[in-house]
Chain A
């Protein structure tokens, strides 16, 4: 069972991601939510999660800054981060993967592809 933190300033998008994960049969213990990077770091200070799914463009702290904070933290760096963004440009995806994102998914995505990507990421981490 997996505990997932969803970071997105759009409440609609957080709902959709939860719905896609649930409908796809992906076994999830808990969904935690944050509306931006700062909010996510607060959640991560008090909760343990197995996977982080984050948007990029958010107020206060964006997804790239959040990712940099996570990879710089000796404990949090073990948690895989999947970036979900509407930014389909190769330069942005390449930069975030270089910083340490486990995967970069471009919206719009098909639910099945999303599930497969999450499974690949968790399998790579846990073996």
Chain B
């Protein structure tokens, strides 16, 4: 079984640096906190499972601003949700590409939800709380 934790680290760094003009500055201890927006994508194919990202509105606004090239306060709620979904989608694709480059997968459209204190990832197999310049980003991954 691949080291899913290491795969998540690699994928998060690639995605955040190349598409969000951000970066992972470390990993935070403990659990995510506060009111958060989450995006979950499920995947089927050579492996099946789910990946969820979760962030506070302020961290996500900053990430979205970097992604869209706009000011933080110019990012609308619809854009926040769209960017959260895209982050989950691209991160999932990057993880699966590393997990099984010759595999075949289908990633479902993202499901967006409001959540609190990281509940969205609490039951997932691998959980990460990345420290970013913009705040924190929680990521959960389950591979069946």
Contacts and interface: CB of A to CB of B under 8 A. Distances in A.
Interface in B5-24: 14-15, 17-19
Interface stretch (A5-13, A40-48, A69-77, A115-123): A5-13
B92 interface: yes
Interface residues of A, number: 24
B102 interface: yes
A88 B97 contact: yes
Interface string A61-83: 00000000000000000000000
B93 A88 contact: yes
Nearest to A22: B69
A12 B79 contact: yes
Contacts of B94: 86, 88, 107-108
B58 interface: no
A29 interface: no
A89 B89 CA distance: 14
Contact of B109 (A57, A85, A88, A108): A57
Given A10-B85, A11-B82, A86-B94, 19 more contacts: A9-B109, A10-B82, A10-B89, A12-B67, A12-B82, A13-B82, A16-B69, A23-B69, A57-B109, A85-B93, A86-B92, A88-B94, A89-B96, A91-B104, A92-B104, A92-B105, A106-B97, A107-B19, A107-B93
Interface of B: 14-15, 17-19, 46, 64, 67-69, 78-79, 82-83, 85-86, 89-90, 92-94, 96-98, 100-109
A85 B14 CA distance: 15
Contacts of A109: 18-19
Given A11-B78, A89-B100, A109-B18, A19 B107 contact: no
Contacts of A11: 78-79, 82
A125 B19 CA distance: 28
A88 B90 CA distance: 10
A87 B86 CA distance: 13
A20 to B, nearest CB: 9
* 3 A-B pairs closest in CB distance: A88-B97, A86-B93, A108-B18
